[in-house]
Amino acid sequence: MRVVFLDIDGVLNSDRYFEEVPWPEGASWWSAAAIDPRAVARVNAIVSETNARVVLSSSWRRRAPLDELCALLRSRGLEQPLLSATPSLYRTPDGVRLTRGDEVLSWLASERDAGVIVDAYVVLEDEEPLGEVEARCVRVDSRVGLTDADVARAIAALQR
């Protein structure tokens, strides 16, 4: 299995998107309005080219149940339902702050324990530190969100 860990803010939206598309009056931040369908289409392109599954690593996963987030992303064009989301770890028992990279590694370890073989993965992320997972990151520029160049990098990394 190939996996795309998906961030939302700065990846599926961007400064440019918010400049171009007027914000609907009264819309909540955690709504379809904050998701750029053009960026979602680029996730579809990665998925269709590599047969990857999508796992949500965005903080949005703490805002709503996964099925609601699936429906929201589908309403903006995501063709494949989310597989799952990474766990929220925050800190170790002795107070060390854990990163989004640690959450990715924890997700991978759980899948491995369940007998799932992950052949390759990429993390689409604009700002969060990823620690030892940084080498698997496609760093997205939050000013423009996910680009065609990012898609090409992600596909290449998944097919390596």
Task: Look at residue 35 and give its three-state secondary structure.
Answer: coil
Closest contact distance (angstroms) between CB of 57 and Mg ion is 9
Decide whether 92 or 129 has the Cβ nearer to Mg ion. Answer: 129
Bridge pairing between strands 120-125 and 2-6: parallel
Identify which of residues 119 and 127 has a Cβ nearer to Mg ion in the complex: 127
Half-sphere exposure of residue 77: CA atoms within 13 angstroms, side-chain side: 14
Structure tokens belonging to residue 41: 């289409």
Structure letter (DSSP) for residue 13? S
Q: Which of 102, 126, 136, 146 binds Mg ion (CB under 5 A)?
A: 126
Q: Which of 119, 131, 136, 141 is nearest to 13 (CA)?
A: 141
What is the pattern of x (binds Mg ion, CB under 5 A) and - over residues 48-87? ----------------------------------------
Residue 10 contacts Mg ion per CB under 5 A: yes
Binding residue for Mg ion, selected from 4, 5, 6, 7, defined by CB under 5 A: 7
Q: Examine residue 145 and tell whether it contacts Mg ion (CB under 5 A).
A: no
In whole angstroms, the minimum distance from the beta carbon of 144 to Mg ion comes to: 13
Helix/strand/coil percent split, the chain, to 5: 45, 15, 45
Binding residues for Mg ion (CB under 5 A): 7, 9-10, 126
